[in-house]
């Protein structure tokens, strides 16, 4: 994930950037969930949304989020 984020030059907010942050997922009207099962194209598609919407990727524990307006994109690893 980190290699692809650096390759695409997408800002990533994770525990290296903040010590503790609150992140509310309840305000989203729509939630789109991507499930990563060892296929890199899922990660590239997920990160492509951050690139398209010119936004950041937020990492909380082992989950990644892309907030955009009232939509929350989430990447889960299974």
Q: What is the pLDDT of residue 39?
A: 84
pTM: 0.86
- What is the three-class DSSP state of 69? coil
One-character DSSP codes across 8-67: HT--EE-TTT-SS-----TT-SEEEEEEESS-HHHHHHHHHHHHHHT--EEEETTEEEEE
What separation in angstroms does the CA of 2 have from each of 28, 29, 31, 47, 69?
A: 25, 28, 23, 11, 24
Over the stretch 11-62, which tens digit does the pLDDT of each residue have?
A: 999 888 887 767 777 888 999 999 998 889 999 999 999 999 999 999 988 8
Over the stretch 64-77, which tens digit does the pLDDT of each residue have?
A: 999 998 999 999 98
């Amino acid at each position: 994930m980190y290699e692809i984020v650096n390759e695409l030059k997408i800002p990533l907010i994770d525990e290296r950037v903040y010590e503790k942050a609150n992140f509310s997922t309840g305000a989203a009207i729509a939630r789109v969930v991507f499930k990563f099962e060892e296929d890199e194209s899922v990660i590239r598609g997920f990160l492509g949304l951050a690139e398209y919407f010119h936004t950041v990727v937020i990492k909380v524990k082992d989950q990644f989020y892309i907030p955009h307006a009232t939509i929350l994109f989430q990447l889960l690893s299974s």
